[in-house]
Structure 1
Amino acid sequence: IIISICGNVLISISLNIQKYAHVRQAERGSEPYYTSAMWWCGLVLMGVGELGNFAAYGFAPASLIAPLGCVSVIGNAIISVVFLKETVRASDIVGGTLAITGTYLLVTFAPHTSTHITAHLVQHYTISWQFLLYLTVAFCVLLYVYKRRNVKHIVVVMLLVALLASPTVISVKAVSGMVTESVKGQLQLIYPIFYIMLVVMVASCAFQIKFLNQAMKMFDATEVVPVNFVFFTTSAIVAGIVFYQEFEGLAMLNIFMFLFGCVLSFLGVFLIARNRPQIKQQDPLLSTFTGRRHTDKVQPEANTPTYGLLAAKLTCNRTGQIDDS
């Protein structure tokens, strides 16, 4: 749990460092962001944070690690206010309180005993009827949603990301667990299932990134972040319950309070991410004209936002010159 929390805090710090680097580069001019040493520092910190999350899956249940991603959202909001001087909103305070309360309930009532992941255990889970049924249903839903990919709705796109989150979480926990057991002395890297899970992990992560980038292009980040968190966390919890059977033997009170903590975390993330101010990008060409905006009319006297009349005049002048010659 501590490894996951530290990893998510590092991720939130890295995001704000990269955000600050983008702001500085925008003020300086048209230099690419990847020329900034600060941006690379943020990228390295993000890699360390993600590595911490990867390691955490080897020590704790997936249904506990995945919801702790809200720590990154809380940390991001706090750092933005303290260091980037963003305005504190009432929704930030309420959302942060709900998210922290939800995180406390998650940590308190989640299953804390994690099975030692071995190659033989992963093979056994892979052919279990619960997982095969879940895989069939998920594949049918994924195929249906992909066929309807032309529907421009955020839920459709993010559902693709969420469905890919299940194999990602399953494979990440399997790979991380087998690496952990190998470090302890029980070598698991000689079994084919390790490399199968490694391929599944890389492939599912790649497709997740593809659809997530598609969502970021189509929709605002304030919509994508909370919806992605809710869908990804739900998918990860279901994957942990079905594949690794993490809720087996857990008391009903613990299950109810765990799910209640998830709901509080979801609400908190929605409130924090809702209507967050975006970084204003400045057009390098438009900035040479003081007091001009993208919505200003190009030819005020023509009462039009286009160069239509000006282009027509130039065409007429050019035609006249050709006739004279």
Structure 2
Amino acid sequence: MIRKNMANSSSPHAAPHLTTAQAHRAEILENPLQAYLLGIIISICGNVLISISLNIQKYAHVRQSQRGSKPYYTSVMWWCGVLLMGVGELGNFAAYGFAPASLIAPLGCVSVIASAVISVVFLKETVRASDIVGGTLAITGTYLLVTFAPHTSTHITAHLVQYYAVSWHFLLYLFIEVVVFCILLYLYKKRNVKHIVIVMLLVALLASLTVISVKAVSGMITESIKGQLQLIYPIFYVMVVVMVASCAFQIKFLNQAMKMFDATEVVPINFVFFTASAIVAGIVFYQEFEGVALLNIFMFLFGCLLSFLGVFLIARNRPKIKQQDRNFIPMDKIPGRRHTDKVQPEAKTQTYGSLAAKLMCNRAGQADDS
């Protein structure tokens, strides 16, 4: 009798029907370790390429400024740096299709560590004690991130993205994010609050949408390459539009921050805010920490904290990028003049040249005013 009941319960007619949520959960629970490790390796290689490209571009700028003949965009070396950066960013994009977003985003500290090492070795920058301590902390944090991050590698399909996009917790998260973004944008634009935290929070809120859309697009492209075509679904193109729009506005606000504040402030704050927003996006949208042990979550957050502190120490008190150009003479240094403009003298003459023309214009303006 017991055997008969067991046979009946194992038959397909007696098995309970899976709900939509259970079906998606069964798809998520697949855990290929090779894909997880592949995503980590691709992300690390991409970040190293980005750091190399930044230092190559920096070297090209320094060399062109010393020669003073042609603009930087005519340098072959500068274009090689741009090409390497494109390859590195493409690697980060591909990594989102294999590993959790909450892991790929914090691995951006690898770029900061590699950039500091390359600048010391090739650009002959000085090594500080804070660089050594910060690099050690960042490497330790990276190890904890890789060890205790969720080891699930989700198969991102169009149906799965649609299911996540209409879930109540993501809709609530999206509503809160839109409200906060509007408040910050009002303070920034209308109230003229130009604090670095305001600007970087705007970047971070956009970055959360970028992470969600990038992982969705990358995952669907990966599944299409494997043989399950996902590009025929409208949700793929919706995510592409979200990815492009959020990236464009994110770059816009980030450039504004770079104009108003020094890179030593923008780099660590942007890394911390971007990483935090990516982790929250991975938790809310892709539910990446579901079923993870409490100790793993604590150690993962501790690894993030060490990475944040390491990046802050590496970027702290770096030399200012915006330095006064020696080819220009300040007007307030000319006897009898109280002007703050900068006028470039003629390169081939001993006289001031265009400086004299500027003085003549100023005198003419004063005569007209009188």
Residues 282 and 36 from structure 1, CA distance in 2 versus in 1: closer, same or farther, beyond 3 angstroms? farther
Q: Please tell me whether residue 126 in structure 1 is matched to residue 165 in structure 2.
A: yes
Superposition deviation, residue 262 in structure 1:
0.2
Q: Which position in structure 1 is the counterpart of 2:17?
A: none
Superposition deviation, residue 303 in structure 1:
8.1
Superposition deviation, residue 296 in structure 1:
6.2
Deviation sequence 1:53-100 (CA, Å, 0-9, x none): 000000000000000000000000000000000000111011001100
Contact 1:298 1:306 in 2 (8 A): no
Q: Distance in 2 between matches of 1:204 and 1:312?
A: 46
Superposition deviation, residue 32 in structure 1:
1.4
The amino acid across from 1:237 in the alignment is: I
SS at 1:148's partner residue? helix
Q: Distance in 1 between matches of 2:88 and 2:364?
A: 59
The amino acid across from 1:152 in the alignment is: K
Q: Distance in 2 between matches of 1:55 and 1:294?
A: 49
Q: Which has the larger radius of gyration?
A: 2
Q: TM-score, normalised by structure 2?
A: 0.80
Q: Which position in structure 2 is the counterpart of 1:290?
A: none
Superposition deviation, residue 283 in structure 1:
3.1
Extract unaligned runs of 5+ from structure 1.
287-292, 320-325
Counterpart among 84, 87, 91 of residue 130 in structure 2: 91
Alignment RMSD (CA, Å): 2.2
Q: Please tell me whether residue 297 in structure 1 is matched to residue 315 in structure 2.
A: no
Counterpart among 213, 217, 232 of residue 274 in structure 2: 232
The amino acid across from 2:68 in the alignment is: G
Contact 2:205 2:277 in 1 (8 A): yes
Q: Which position in structure 2 is the counterpart of 1:34?
A: 73
Q: Distance in 1 between matches of 2:331 and 2:364?
A: 26
Counterpart among 149, 160, 164 of residue 110 in structure 1: 149
Q: Distance in 1 between matches of 2:204 and 2:322?
A: 30
Superposition deviation, residue 278 in structure 1:
3.3
Deviation sequence 1:116-173 (CA, Å, 0-9, x none): 0000000000000110010011000000000000201000000000000111000000
Residues 190 and 233 from structure 1, CA distance in 2 versus in 1: closer, same or farther, beyond 3 angstroms? same
SS at 2:325's partner residue? coil
Instruction: State percent identity of aligned pairs.
Output: 81
Q: Please tell me whether residue 48 in structure 1 is matched to residue 87 in structure 2.
A: yes
Q: Which position in structure 2 is the counterpart of 1:202?
A: 244
Q: Distance in 1 between matches of 2:312 and 2:69?
A: 34
Q: Which position in structure 2 is the counterpart of 1:273?
A: 315
Q: Which has the higher contact order (CA 8 A, sep 6+)?
A: 1
Contact 2:47 2:110 in 1 (8 A): yes
SS at 2:333's partner residue? coil
The amino acid across from 1:298 in the alignment is: I
Contact 1:29 1:284 in 2 (8 A): no
Residues 306 and 113 from structure 1, CA distance in 2 versus in 1: closer, same or farther, beyond 3 angstroms? closer
Superposition deviation, residue 275 in structure 1:
1.1
Deviation sequence 1:159-218 (CA, Å, 0-9, x none): 000000111000000000000000000000000000000010000000000000010011
Question: Which stretches of structure 1, 4 residues or longer, exceed 2 Å deviation after superposition?
Answer: 278-286, 293-296, 302-307, 310-316
Aligned residues: 309
Q: Which position in structure 1 is the counterpart of 2:298?
A: 256
Contact 2:47 2:108 in 1 (8 A): yes
SS at 1:162's partner residue? helix
Superposition deviation, residue 114 in structure 1:
1.6
Contact 2:43 2:91 in 1 (8 A): yes
Q: Please tell me whether residue 80 in structure 1 is matched to residue 126 in structure 2.
A: no
Q: TM-score, normalised by structure 1?
A: 0.90
Residues 179 and 86 from structure 1, CA distance in 2 versus in 1: closer, same or farther, beyond 3 angstroms? same
SS at 1:92's partner residue? helix
Residues 280 and 208 from structure 1, CA distance in 2 versus in 1: closer, same or farther, beyond 3 angstroms? closer
